[in-house]
Amino acid sequence: MHILTPLIFLSSLTTASLLPFASRTDTHLLPPAFFLAGDSTTAIQALTNTSKGGGWGTGFLSTLKNGAKGTNYGHNGATTFGHNDQKPAANISLAQYSTNLRSLAQQILDLNATPILVTSLSRRNFNASGLVTRNLENERLATIAVAKSLDVTYVDLNLASMNYLNAIGLAKATTYNLEPTDFTHLNDMGSRVFGNLVAALVLETGLGKGLREWVGVDWRVVQGIRRGIYVTA
């Protein structure tokens, strides 16, 4: 998950209610601010391939327009976002994962900001049948359950990214790898492709109507993803 589980956090910065968006007739509201919390699959692109930071957050923030701002707080090795919670060294059960995620989302609500829970970006490991290995399914379902329990918005990046990867196959999927054998982190092109996918998914939620003024998706990329056609960005 990202928060965008990674969660995306939105706030208007100026109103008493701190809604993330406003109508064009309301001159008292500023554009939204997006704060991304996540692990290395959200984090800022790596300066070197050894730092393992390569996520969709950079690509997502590149879609912002008309004064909307964003900060990527993704951090390599961070837990509560799915990928690292699975590691034995983390010693985090699925129940604890859900508890931690719920606590994080509640803290955002307590600030009168708007959390958007995002299921984890799919890894690009394929099984013998030529399909993506569904090794984040438990975390995906847990993230959705937490979002529903708090009545907050979520987007299912895990399912959307997995469907796309299955459509294009292993050879093309690896062109998004940060390194040839790294099937988790994204290079610059991968960040733009999947960042645009996240932006499109957000615009399709109940918050989308109020955010279209500030989020400019490359629909060529997104339409290709939806059709299962390999895209570059």
Q: Is residue 139 part of a domain?
A: yes
What is the phi/psi pair of residue 177, to 5°?
-70, 140
> What was the pLDDT predicted at 80?
54
Please check whether residue 233 lies inside any domain of the structure.
Answer: no
Confidence (pLDDT) at 7: 57
Nearest one of 90, 88, 11, 81 to 43, comparing CA atoms: 81
- What's the CA gap between 141 and 134, in Å, rounded? 12
Range of the domain at 205: 2-227
Query: What is the structure's pLDDT at 9?
Result: 60
- pTM equals 0.86
Q: What is the pLDDT along the chain (233 residues), one digit of tens a residue?
A: 444 444 566 543 322 223 333 334 444 468 899 999 888 889 887 766 666 678 999 999 999 999 999 999 886 655 556 565 555 566 578 888 899 889 989 999 999 889 999 999 999 999 999 999 998 899 999 999 999 999 999 999 999 999 999 999 999 999 999 999 999 999 999 999 999 999 999 999 999 999 999 999 999 999 999 999 999 98
Can you tell me whether residue 117 is helix, strand or coil?
strand
Nearest CA to 160 out of 200, 112, 128 is that of: 200
In a domain, 125, yes or no: yes
Q: Please indicate, yes or no, if residue 129 is contained in any of the structural domains.
A: yes
Total domains in the fold of the chain: 1
Given this model, what pLDDT does residue 44 score? Answer: 86
Q: What integer pLDDT is reported at residue 16 of this predicted model?
A: 24
Residue 174 burial (10 A CB sphere; 0-12, 13-18, 19+): middle
Strands (E), the chain: 2-11, 33-37, 69-72, 114-118, 153-155
- Cα angle, residue 119 at apex, residues 10 and 52 outer, rounded to 5°: 90
Q: What is the CATH number of the domain that holds 67?
A: 3.40.50.1110
Instruction: For residue 123, tell me if it sits in a domain.
Output: yes
pLDDT of 38: 84
18: DSSP letter: -
232 occurs within a structural domain = no
